[in-house]
Structure 1
Amino acid sequence: MTATTQTKHPPAGLEALATQIRPVLERYGVVSASVFGSLARGEERPESDVDLLVEFDANATLLTLAGLEAELCRELGREVDVVTPRGLKKMIRPQVMAEQVRIYG
């Protein structure tokens, strides 16, 4: 059996986040981005990080991922964890796929 992904539409707060980081995502060749974790569940706090699931175009490398994460941290002024679908740990994959909220792409 395969997991079904359901893409939710972002609420207004996430729309603002998407607008703020869109230029960075475009610069790094991101084709889609979704938040997950506390931000996606509406449970974020001021100290919460941003958990971002991204898919890149075909030319992305590990350095691309690291550069994107560093630039997003600077842009947002808080911790950002960037992961690709392939980089998700098996144990959390079902939860991430179920709660993700697409903000780009």
Structure 2
Amino acid sequence: MDATLLADIDRRAAIEATSRSSVIRAALQAYLAGAPRGVLKISADSLRRIAEIGDRYGLASLEVFGSVAAGTATPASDVDLLYELRPGRRLGWEIEDLTAELAEVFGRPVDLVARTALHPRLKDAVLNQAQAIYAT
């Protein structure tokens, strides 16, 4: 493998908090299964539910990143979501309820990350990969 490809794999592994071999295995499984990479499919009903949840919790935006956005998710993968709140809105313990409601919509565990909490080393990679699924 060339150095650029290995760097991309390592970057994805860092974003997904997994190993290089896990990223390669997931990509190969997706390729062999004919799954389109980087194309997120969400039903109209799920988008409606996400909009209702976003309105209720004061979200300004919600974006998916990680293995689901990359098209390399496995049945055991969680859904990595990047969120931003509307000005003046704060989440306390409500973050737990928000997480649970989104997990119900996606049918798998959800990992919520505030845009403001992105680690500087990962920020560019995450933002380049992020796919908007809700915005006000």
Asked whether the two chains share a fold, i.e. TM above 0.5, the reply is yes
2:120 aligned residue: 90
Matched, 1:79 2:109: yes
Instruction: Measure how far apart 1:11 and its partner are.
Output: 4.5
Instruction: Measure how far apart 1:63 and its partner are.
Output: 2.4
CA distance in 1, matches of 2:105, 2:42: 15
Equivalent position amino acid for 1:104 in 2: Y
Matched, 1:14 2:14: no
CA distance in 2, matches of 1:102, 1:15: 14
Q: Give the secondary-structure state (helix, strand or coil) at the position aligned to 1:81.
A: strand
**Distance change in 2, residues 1:12/1:70 (3 Å):** closer
CA distance in 2, matches of 1:20, 1:53: 17
Residue 66 of structure 1 is aligned with which of 72, 93, 96?
96
CA distance in 1, matches of 2:75, 2:39: 18
Structure with bigger helix share is: 2
1:99 aligned residue: 129
CA contact (8 A) 1:15 1:103 kept: no
CA contact (8 A) 2:51 2:134 kept: yes
Matched, 1:34 2:63: yes
CA distance in 2, matches of 1:22, 1:44: 23
How many pairs were matched up? 96
Percent of aligned pairs with the same amino acid: 34
Higher relative contact order (CA 8 A, sep 6+): 1
Q: Give the secondary-structure state (helix, strand or coil) at the position aligned to 1:93.
A: helix
Equivalent position amino acid for 1:36 in 2: F
Q: Quick check: 50-59 or 68-77, which moved more?
A: 68-77
CA contact (8 A) 1:31 1:56 kept: yes
CA distance in 1, matches of 2:48, 2:71: 18
The one-character-per-residue Cα deviations of 1:12-52 (angstroms, maximum 9, x if unpaired) are 61355534422222211111111000111111122211111
